[in-house]
Structure formats: C-alpha cells, structure tokens
Amino acid sequence: MMDIPAEVARRIRVVLLDADGVLTDGGLYVSEGVVGELEGRRFHVHDGLAIHMLRRAGLGVAIVSGKLSGSVKRRAEALGIEEVHQVTAFGKLEAVEGVLQRAGASWLEAAFLGDDLADLPVLREVGLPAAVANAVSEVKEAAAWIGKQTGGNGAVREFIEALLAARGEWSALVEEYVAECVEHWRAETRD
C-alpha cells in the first residue's frame, strides 16, 4: 500500500466510489426467480463503517457505477449515501461533474477508487486517483494510490482509512466513535 501525501489528502472534499469490483468483488449472483431473473452482489461490512467514518469527517461520498443495480442502490441507502449514479461507462464523467458541482468541489478536490477500464476517464481527471489491488493494469498505472485489498474485501475501508490517516484524522475519529458507543450504552443501561 502506498502512502497518500498529507497535502493531497487534506484537499480532498469528495470521495467517489465505483460499485462493481470496488464495493463488491465484481461477481454477479444470478438466479431464476418467480418474477424472473434475480441478480445480487456481496458487500463487505468493514467498507460500510469506513464510509460512516468518512462522513463523520465531513467529506462527501458518492457512488458512480457503470451498471444499474437494485442491490447497490439499497446498500447505498443503508449507508446514507444520497449520491448514487448508475450510468453507462460513457456517463461517468458527466455524473461525477454533477456530484462535484452540487458539492461545490473541483476535480482536484475529488478522489476516485476504481478497478476497471470504465473508471479510467474519471481517474485521469480527479486529484486523487486510487485503485483496488485487483484492478486492471491500466487503472493501476493511472492511480496515485493502490491498495492491498481486493474489491469487495475491505478495499474501500483500506482506502478511506489511508486517506483519513494522511489527513491526521483517523485515530481521533475512531476514539470519538468508540466514546459515542460507550456513552450510548451507558445511557441505555441507566434507563
């Protein structure tokens, strides 16, 4: 895993994530159901808590995926991610541009974690291009940061932790989270 320079990490205001191959392992589970074909994906729970920590740090987060998926939409809703854009590969740049405009952020203030060729146009524009460990070689070549974890296996957690650590915020966020959990528990046990 590469270190993220502190000056680069501190300017990031929005973290963009691909879905298939980043939030998931890229596998598609397809089965025939009563109402037709059903499709599912597997997500890693560590990624969800890391996204929570990212939002606690005040950074925006969005999913920009090249495939329409109900399970990705449902997972995003469960994580409180409001910006979910499921577009064609040709629509990723436009979707990201819209996210950045709404956030009042520039391309230089954005990070993108990707894995496949459809992510290259965005990776070549953002201030912090990043790749999961099992990304294709072209994506790795475009990335300023490459993780050790493969997509769907905690890669998002690894990236977010590296980003927030480079900003000098990870440890404090963890302690704040733990203190909040303890406070909640104590309040519940007193009632």
Is residue 58 situated within a structural domain? yes
Tokens (6 digits) for 21: 């191959």
Is residue 1 situated within a structural domain? no
Q: What is the domain extent for residue 94?
A: 7-190
pLDDT, tens only, 76-115: 999 999 999 999 889 999 999 999 999 999 999 999 999 9
Q: Are 57 and 169 in contact (CB under 8 A)?
A: yes
Is residue 21 situated within a structural domain? yes
pLDDT at position 190 is 76
Q: Residue range 125-143: average pLDDT?
A: 98
Query: 24 falls in which pLDDT band (50, 70, 90)?
Result: confident
Question: Tokens 């399970």, residue?
Answer: 71
CATH classification of the domain holding 75: 3.40.50.1000
Closest CA to 146 of 168, 125, 123: 123
How far out from the chain centre does Cα 191 lie?
A: 37
CA atoms within 13 A on the CB side of 101: 6
pTM beyond 0.85: yes
- CA-to-CA distance for 8 and 14, rounded, in angstroms? 12
Q: What is the dihedral of CA 101, 160, 89, 116, to 10 degrees?
A: 150
On the question of pLDDT at 157 being above 70, the answer is yes
Question: Which DSSP symbol is given to 4?
Answer: P
Query: 191 falls in which pLDDT band (50, 70, 90)?
Result: low
On the question of pLDDT at 4 being above 90, the answer is yes
pLDDT at position 6 is 96
What SS3 state is found at 36? strand
On the question of pLDDT at 41 being above 80, the answer is no
User: Where do the H-state alpha helices sit in the chain?
Assistant: 6-11, 45-56, 70-79, 92-103, 120-123, 137-142, 155-166, 170-190
Q: 3-state SS string over 5-35?
A: CHHHHHHCCEEEECHHHHHECCCCEEEEECC
Query: 25 falls in which pLDDT band (50, 70, 90)?
Result: confident
pLDDT at position 71 is 82
Domain count, the chain: 1
pLDDT at position 1 is 54
pLDDT at position 28 is 67
Is residue 2 situated within a structural domain? no
* Better pLDDT: 26 or 76: 76
Query: 67 falls in which pLDDT band (50, 70, 90)?
Result: confident
- CA-to-CA distance for 5 and 12, rounded, in angstroms? 11
pLDDT at position 43 is 81
Tokens (6 digits) for 16: 């963009």
Average pLDDT taken over every residue of the chain: 91
